[in-house]
Structure 1
Amino acid sequence: MRTAADPSAGRPPPQARRTRGARRTRRVRRSAPPPSWALLGVLLVVLAGVLFVGAYANAAFVPDRAQHDDGQDRVPAEVVNGGPIINAADGQHRSYRLPARTVALTFDDGPDPKWTREVLRVLDTHQVKGTFFVVGSQAARHPELVRELVAGGHEVGVHTFTHPDLTTLSGWRRRMEYGQTQLALAGAAGVRSSLMRFPYSSHADAIDDRDWPLVTEAGGLGYLTVLNDTDSRDWALPGVDATVANATPAGYSGAISLWHDAGGDRAQTVAALDRFIPLMKERGYRFTTATEGLNLTLAAAGIDHQVTGNPVASGAERWQGRMLVWAVQGADRTLTLFGALFVLVGVLTVGRTVLLLLLAGRHARRRRARDWTWGPPVTEPVSVIVPAYNEKEGIAAAVRSLATGDHPGGIEVVVVDDGSTDGTADIAEGLGLPNVRVVRKPNGGKPSALNTGVALARHELLVLVDGDTVFEPDAVRRLVQPFADPQVGAVAGNVKVGNRDSLIAKWQHIEYVIGFNLDRRLYETLRCMSTVPGAIGGFRRQALVYAGGMTDDTLAEDTDITMALGRAGWKVVYEETARAWTEAPATMGQLWKQRYRWSYGTMQAMWKHRRSLLDSGASGRFSRRCLLFLTLFGVLLPLLAPVIDLLALYGLFFLDRTATVVAWLAMLAVQFLTAVVAFRLDREKLGVLWVLPLQQFVYRQLMYLVMIQSVVTALTGGRLGWQKLRRTGLRPTVRAGNG
């Protein structure tokens, strides 16, 4: 009885019949739109802007500024000895204290989603209003809290946008800090503020010659500088009793009291406030906001002037403020997303590395064991199909290497000239090799040429190759040995880069060894091989026919047919000892064309076979494994990998540089480890790996852009034409056979 797994069966297995039906899809039209460089450029500019906003809004808080003592020679004595509210407008300077038995509770560094609300709860319980000096970036992140403060009758003031040491900034940077905070207030609650408190400021008697210009500059901009009389020092977490004691003014003097509603755990602050407010009320104190207390002082002095702490912002300021709020929130979400993607890329990279080290290593050890065999030696004759279109530079070397192979059963070479205009067919015929046939046909594309060659081939074992590939003498013999296993339908050979002199060729050599051959060991072990390379692939005729033959449904006919074979229940294996040498693209432009076609063609094949995910039997099992690995490691990982470099660049400028460099080097070390393992398994020299670090700066970026363009083309329904690479005719030095 013959079974579906038996290649001699008289009828195809059910999966094969289903696969053939699935392959009757609409053919891809070949006209190609120009790459969307303008769109890509706009996206990069927008992304750069978002990251800059994120970098600015996320400027790190520092525990304290560097200590300095610049003296007080230029600070007026009445300011040093005056009150905590300073008006330095119009070139004059006046300072004010709050009336006796009056306290203004002021809070710095918020708003904070947790602790600001806890502080408000205590203030509302005791019916007290406070003055909140907000950090602009925090106000933009939590505009609803600013609205709650204003709606509740509390006062808001400016505490800069990123909480820097203002004495270290230039004038325009300081004005930017003030202005962006004002916009954040306008966007969040529709108000402005005339109150300013500098980060790291203290009492009036602590102002020195380095601080005084900040006060006069703020006065010129229309701000009242608000310092403090008492500092609760809650930031130091001294305990509730000490916090209350620190905030309590001497005697019955008025005081502006400094607290914090953000910047860490403020549980002690909340508990101390809950005790401090009733205690001060028992002593006869009243609580006001900073401007309310100033107005009381002005009225007591007979000055007919009232200060408005939070005037209404103009319509233009509110719109600009909303834009700022959206920009900061968008930047935060983008950075959060990038952080999650960074973790995802790390997990995928490490997971892939672990799989490769474990399974690919086991595959190599099993194949190299002395007792390993595919079965009885395969000595059947082989037909080699060479589709050729304008391959005059390399066709002679390719055909000669195939025709003179040492396979004992004999080799028939069928060169299918697909309408070449450069004399390719004449060159092949001129070789005068007795086992070479040249077939001429009108141009119809590579799949058409392959199908023609298969139809004309005399033998059941077929080798499909590219017209520019040079085989080692024993490559055909070794490639067909796995067909001793009747379940094997196709065999992937080992493609080597022959022109390794240039830097770009060395990078491709590394990629071939790691990304292709090492992966094929993994995918064979998992029974989900997705591609038998067009440069060197062996097929059983019956398997090829069962799968529907070559089609031009996609640009990656090799991936398409391999997936069809897997769905049909055939085993697809990798034979590392069957080596063929190819000429890799020598320029970035040629490389781009080749990889763009590969990437886009692979996505087309994935889309074409997507419905097989729901199939039962061999088709479904293969598709679920194959499409999962292709999605994770063939599309998602390359598409997201730029996050590593983007965050590394971002970190060098805006984050901890040491941590950034260490993280980037760790990822490079993982890649280097993978490369060493791959080169050892493939018995390649390690010397070329010195270019691996350089690969991260140019070659990888090119591959990123190729993948992005391929995805954009796929999502927009763009069409891509066949790409013909220009060959130089450079021939590799082929190693001797493997014995």
Structure 2
Amino acid sequence: MHTITVIVPAHNEEEGLPATLESLARQTVRPDRILVVDDASTDRTGEVAASHGVTVLRPPRNLGSKAKAQNYALPQCTTDLVLAVDADTVLAPDYIETVLPVFDDPEVSIAAGTVRTRHTRTLWERGRSTEYLFGFHWHRPIQARANSPMVCSGCCSVFRRDDLMAFGGFPERTIVEDMDYTWAQQIASRRAVYVSDAVALAADPEDLTYLRKQVWRWMAGFCQNVRLHLGRLIVHKPLLAVWVLLALLEILTAPLWWATPFVLAATTDQPPALAFAWWAGAELLLTTPPLLYAARRRKLPLATVLLNVPCVYATKAVNLVYAWKALIVELLLVPLHLARGLTVYEKGRADTPAARPVVPGVG
């Protein structure tokens, strides 16, 4: 029988934290302990957490990143498993129950479920929802069948504590600890597992300001991990190295694909509208089938899923800009000692206004 401790790092999360803690309280398999790390919040995060009857840990100063906050709580974990949950993520009631059985295999070191967006109110949230549906119902299942998932999502990953402690805790050397640990464990011949039936709902950036911060962190972190791990991946986990190289190739060739309708219009006799129609048709042919499957798999309204498809091109454009920036900075300038790379962790959502009144226990 597995035992599990939940770590929730939280900095100025009084607004989103209640829903997270309530989702943990509703788990069909209850965690043995819940630790909220109130990382020098200037709002009422600590008080809100305490009102839910969980253990609140308060570092003497702001630690500056999610991994550091999680490591602050790690010595308090005595269970065989550790679940790291972001303070704005809501777990389905059976999340823990669904993930736990994979740890019956002693080779499994880390596991995580499917991530979906909690809200689809803005253009950016709608675009991200489409990205998630496509990625978790196309890329991730293929990687899982090949026993080489690219990442176990940091907002809802379960870790085997002994492996985590032997590794030295949550990695702080890159800006994205989830990918770093997922790759490192697979290089060490440990297993990372995608559990498709376990669902977590994440609060994603509502506006362009915070989307840019989140995407820059993700892309910079990906390239940091490429710089750190790629050589050993090729030797010890070649199939995972293939996914990584394909991701790099996609970044490099994406501008060519986006330019295709304009090139066709300029170099052929086709009218611009027809050139764009051919391009759009190819896009839909590539993207729609996984989305149709995702809508059926998750029992989502098909019309809503399809109406959100145009929004994904706005988020794709942001992804492309920061992916290229990451390539240049992290894979070119940093090795040449011309830049430091991204070292400052910035959240993808605004802090809760400190003056906003909050009723403890109400999400």
TM-score, structure 2 normalization: 0.86
Deviations 1:44-88 (A, max 9, x none): xxxxxxxxxxxxxxxxxxxxxxxxxxxxxxxxxxxxxxxxxxxxx
| Distance (whole Å) between structure 1 residues aligned to residue 13 and residue 293 of structure 2 | 35
What amino acid maps onto 1:394 in structure 2? G
The answer on whether the counterparts of 1:514 and 1:679 sit within 8 Å (CA) in structure 2 is no
Q: What is the letter of the counterpart of residue 627 of structure 1?
A: A
- Aligned partner of 1:601 in structure 2 is 221
Question: Any conservation in 2 of the 1:401–1:472 contact (CA below 8 Å)?
Answer: yes
1:440, 1:515 → 2: CA distance? 36
Shift of 1:456: 0.5
Q: Which residue of the partner structure matches residue 133 of structure 2?
A: 513
1:561 pairs with one of 151, 172, 181:
181
The yes-or-no answer on 1:411 pairing with 2:27 is no
* Paired letter, 2:57: V
Deviations 1:658-681 (A, max 9, x none): 456324412322221232234334
* Residue of structure 2 equivalent to 1:631: 245
Task: Give the match for residue 355 of structure 2.
Answer: none
For 1:449 and 1:701, the matched residues in 2 are separated by: 32
| Residue 700 (str. 1) matches residue 316 (str. 2) | yes
Match of 1:464 in 2: 84
Alpha-carbon distance between aligned partners in 2 of 1:681 and 1:534, rounded to the nearest angstrom: 23
Amino acid in structure 1 at the alignment position of 2:134: I
The 1-side partners of 2:27 and 2:280 are apart by: 47
Write the deviation string for residues 217-242 of structure 1: whole angstroms up to 9, x where unpaired: xxxxxxxxxxxxxxxxxxxxxxxxxx
Structure 1 counterpart of 2:127, one-letter code:
W
User: Is the 2:214–2:346 contact (alpha carbons within 8 Å) kept by the matching residues of 1?
Assistant: yes
Q: Which amino acid aligns with 2:163?
A: A
**Equivalent residue for 1:62?**
none
Partner of 2:14: 392
Specify the SS of the correspondent of 1:392.
Answer: coil
Of 396, 401, 423, which aligns to 2:44? 423
Deviations 1:314-355 (A, max 9, x none): xxxxxxxxxxxxxxxxxxxxxxxxxxxxxxxxxxxxxxxxxx
Residues in 2 aligned to 1:605 and 1:552: alpha-carbon distance in whole angstroms: 12
Paired residues in the alignment total 340
Deviation string 1:258-296 (CA, Å, 9 cap, x unpaired) is xxxxxxxxxxxxxxxxxxxxxxxxxxxxxxxxxxxxxxx
Q: Structure 1: how far apart are the matches of 2:284 and 2:234?
A: 38
Return the offset for 1:697.
4.8
Distance 1:396-1:689 versus aligned 2 partners, 3 A rule? closer
Residue in 2 that maps onto 1:585 = 205
2:347 alignment partner, one of 712, 724, 736? 724
1:531 deviates by 1.1
Bigger Rg, which one: 1
For residues 639-718 of structure 1, the aligned pairs below 5 Å read 639-655=252-268, 656-657=270-271, 658=274, 661-691=277-307, 694-695=310-311, 697-714=313-330, 715-717=332-334, 718=339
SS of the residue 1:641 aligns to: helix
| Distance in 2 (alpha carbons) for counterparts of 1:450 and 1:503 | 32
Aligned position for 2:359: none
Give the whole-Å Cα distance in 1 for the aligned partners of 2:312 and 2:35.
42
Is 1:485 aligned to residue 101 of structure 2?
A: no
In structure 2, the residue matched to 1:437 is 55
Question: In 2, Cα distance between the equivalents of 1:550 and 1:631?
Answer: 25
Q: CA deviation at 1:484?
A: 1.8
Assess if the C-alpha contact under 8 Å between 1:496 and 1:579 holds in 2: yes
Q: Per the alignment, do residues 416 and 517 of structure 1 end up closer, same or farther by CA in structure 2, a change over 3 Å counting?
A: farther
The alignment partner of 1:609 has SS state of helix
The CA distance in 2 between the partners of 1:609 and 1:662, in whole Å, is 39
State the alpha-carbon separation in 2 of the partners of residues 638 and 538 from structure 1: 30
CA contact (8 A) 2:128 2:312 kept: no
Task: Measure, in 1, the Cα distance between the counterparts of 2:218 and 2:107.
Answer: 28
Q: SS where residue 58 of structure 2 aligns?
A: strand
Quick one: structure 1 residues 614 and 537, their matched pair in 2 at CA, closer, same or farther if it must change by over 3 Å? Answer: closer
Percentage of identical aligned residues: 27
Where does the alignment leave 5 or more consecutive residues of structure 2 unmatched?
353-363
Shift of the 696–382 alpha-carbon distance from structure 1 to 2, 3 Å rule, reads closer
Alignment of 1:102-113 (within 5 A): none
1:100 aligned residue: none
- Structure 1: 5+ residue runs without aligned partners? 1-378, 730-739
Paired residues for 1:262-661 under 5 Å: 379-407=1-29, 410-431=31-52, 433=53, 436-441=54-59, 442-444=61-63, 445-613=65-233, 615=235, 620=236, 622=237, 624-632=238-246, 634-655=247-268, 656-657=270-271, 658=274, 661=277
Moved more, 442-451 or 594-603: 442-451
Change (3 A) 1:705 1:426: same
Alpha-carbon contact 1:536-1:580 (below 8 Å) kept: yes
Amino acid at match of 2:243: F
**1:95-120 deviations in whole A, cap 9, x for unaligned?**
xxxxxxxxxxxxxxxxxxxxxxxxxx
Give the residue type in structure 2 aligned to 1:575: V
Distance in 1 of aligned mates of 2:286 and 2:230: 32
> Which of structures 1 and 2 has the larger relative contact order (alpha carbons within 8 angstroms, sep 6+)?
2
Measured in 2, the distance between the counterparts of 1:511 and 1:696 equals 7
Identify if the C-alpha distance between structure 1 residues 513 and 561 changes in structure 2 by more than 3 Å, giving closer, same or farther: same
Distance (Å, rounded) in 2 between the aligned partners of 1:703 and 1:693: 16
* CA distance in structure 2 between the partners assigned to 1:443 and 1:628 by the alignment: 38
